[in-house]
Amino acid sequence: MLKNKTDDYINKELLHFVTVGSVDDGKSTLIGRLLYDSKSIVEDQLMAIWQASEKRGDTNVNLALLTDALGAEQEQGITIDVAYRYFTTQKRKFIISDTPGHIQYTRNMITGASTADIALILIDARKGVVEQTRRHSLIVSMLKIQHLVVCVNKMDLVDYREDIFELIRSNFNNYLSGLDFLNSIFIPICALNGDNVVNPSVKMPWYKGGSLINLLENISISRDENLTDGRFPVQYVLRSNDGFHDYLAYAGRVAGGVFKAGDKVMVLPSKQITKISSIDFYESNVEEAFPPMSVSMRFADDLEVNRGDMIVREDSIPEISKEFDVMLCWCNVKKLVPGAKYVLKHTTREVHCYIKDLLYIIDVNTRRKIEGIQEVGLNDIARVSIKTLQPLFFDKYKVNRATGSIILIDELTNETVGAGMII
């Protein structure tokens, strides 16, 4: 019986969703409600949350404390870092990324959203669409998340009025019409009381859609891994000699395509050609590897391969260049200016670079391009030209999320200052 239950869990489809939106729109409370009503909270966790709620003076259990794990977050009542939670239902397994709403933690929001299948954006029914709502939806669109679920929260504070929900839906749809989503679905909810979260609400009979958990269990998601172009950034070189056998393999995570034992491959940047002799996955050999498997490959020839190199196919070589444009989310108080130098991290490769040109900033409220700029400030979204000292092997972000994304690091502080998508 235990084996059957384990097999059922392993075979369930995994869905990763992220919660985004402005501060105090109820993201952490919504996740707490999902976990509570789906009975995904163990008894000792629930007891600890009750005790923390009483200590704070809350009259009811504060479900937001399930995700606001940091002491600073509990004291301030806000989310600072990204909190990850896991739960399962009869139909699916879920990974939740609860991201901060404060503008100064935008880079943490980007981290939490970068690998998600679906974005849940929360809107306070009293406030409607605000600037941070637009900023987060724009970033989510840039990150190529295809599905957007708009949860109009705190409907209890506007007497569950349909006209307020419809006004918010109309206003936000006008903004979303210019963004690249496969679909956007609106749900009126009250996360605090559980209306339309796991159970349908009797207080909003005018809403004919299903609950949020019903949507999450049944929405069709298409994984956007590129299974055509082989991409394997080398993360580690594994070498050992026990006196009887020499072992040399190259470990990393498959970023694109399907690799099979016997395949002819090319190593970048050297452009050496070899064949894959075997692929190791955990403690056994596998016939093939595909995204996002972490494997080690052994080659038929003894080549000079290093961390940061990339294994590809001869017939689908990525772009190789020292110059390219990115859509950059700037995450540092120190402004970005032309000529500024940074360390650029791309897959497993790090190179030095400088900012060649600033092309324009996007106004998050109107999506209008502002050209002729001299600097990029904190939380701005801008198109910039970058030049690296050594060539990168990359794809456009729309072709491959893993090989089309970069981050910029301040060499002195080792702080991540920007995240970009190659266009």
Six-digit token string for 229: 């172009």
Element (H, E) at 171: helix 162-176
**Do 11-218 and 231-312 come out as alike in CATH topology?**
no
Q: Which residues does the chain have with pLDDT short of 70?
A: 1-10, 40-82, 101-102, 104-105, 222-224, 242-245
CATH 3.40.50.300 is right for the domain spanning 11-218: yes
C-alpha distances (whole Å) from 67 to each of 35, 78, 82, 92, 302 are 10, 10, 9, 21, 49
Q: What is the pLDDT of residue 51?
A: 62
The set of residues, in sequence order, having a beta carbon less than 8 Å from that of 78 and lying 6+ positions away, is 23, 24, 68, 100, 101, 102
Pairing mode, strands 264-268 and 284-286: unpaired
State the pLDDT at residue 101: 66
Domain 231-312 is of which CATH architecture?
Beta Barrel (2.40)
9 beta partners: none
| 95-130 as b/e: b if 16+ CB within 10 A | bbbbbbbbeebbbbbbbbbbebbbbbbbbbbeeebe
User: If residue 350 lies in a helix (H) or strand (E), which one and from where to where?
Assistant: strand 349-362
Q: Rounded CA gap, 148 and 139, in Å?
A: 12
**pLDDT digits 0-9 by tens, 280-291:** 998 789 999 999
* pLDDT tens digits, one per residue of 177-228: 989 898 999 999 999 899 999 999 999 999 999 999 999 999 988 666 788 9
- 354: buried, middle or exposed (CB in 10 Å: 19+, 13-18, 0-12)? middle
Cβ contact 175:18 at 8 Å:
no
Q: How many CA atoms lie within 13 A of 235 on its CB side?
A: 11
The model's pTM = 0.82
Domain chopping of the chain, boundaries: 11-218, 231-312, 319-422
First-to-last C-alpha distance (Å) of the chain: 51
The CATH number assigned to the domain with range 319-422 reads 2.40.30.10
